[in-house]
Amino acid sequence: MPVNVTTAAGTDLDELAAVAAATFPLACPPSATPRDIAAFIATNLSADSFAEYLADPGREVLAARDGAAILGYAVLIRGVGGDPDVGRAVTARPAVELSKMYVLADHHGAGVSAALMDAAVSRAAGAGARCVWLGVNQENERAQRFYRKHGFAITGAKTFQLGAHIENDFVMVRPLQRRA
């Protein structure tokens, strides 16, 4: 299947939110409650949230498409933020966070995730980043295998608030070759 990865646009907001609502629960640990998942989606993955992400000059939202339909998306954020655990785990600067990367379940294993990852890494390298980093739930072994396959290694750990629960994430980093 040919997959085209582009920068998302304002006309994509509703579809991005729908893809996010369908895919975020797939990455949640079994301990996550449906209520907490729904609250996170409403707060962080709504069409309004994606509008804010698109307007933020420190972020880039990528959309993977088969024709016009969005099959998955990724959100890149410049920097490491203020979490001291992340600061210790991500030592190369400048850095870009792969904050979100989700693909519709029907398209897992079809090359969509690989296309998104390749585009995300290319965009980060093109922006002068020395590494790409991400947080992944410590129980999400499938995602960890995918990230290792794409050059990421565990360099530390951090926490992630999901409703009333504190989830434990690994911090994974992929060094980048700077473009000349």
Q: Would you state the pLDDT for residue 68?
A: 84
Q: Which of 133, 132, 124 lies closest to 157, judged by CA?
A: 133
CB atoms within 10 A of CB 110: 15
Q: What is the pTM of this model?
A: 0.93
pLDDT tens-place string over residues 73-104: 999 999 999 999 999 999 999 999 999 999 99
**Helix residue ranges per DSSP H, 28-83:** 34-44, 47-55
CB 75 within 8 A of CB 60: yes
| Domains contained in the chain, CATH given | 4-175 (3.40.630.30)
Which pLDDT band, with edges at 50, 70 and 90, does 163 fall under? confident
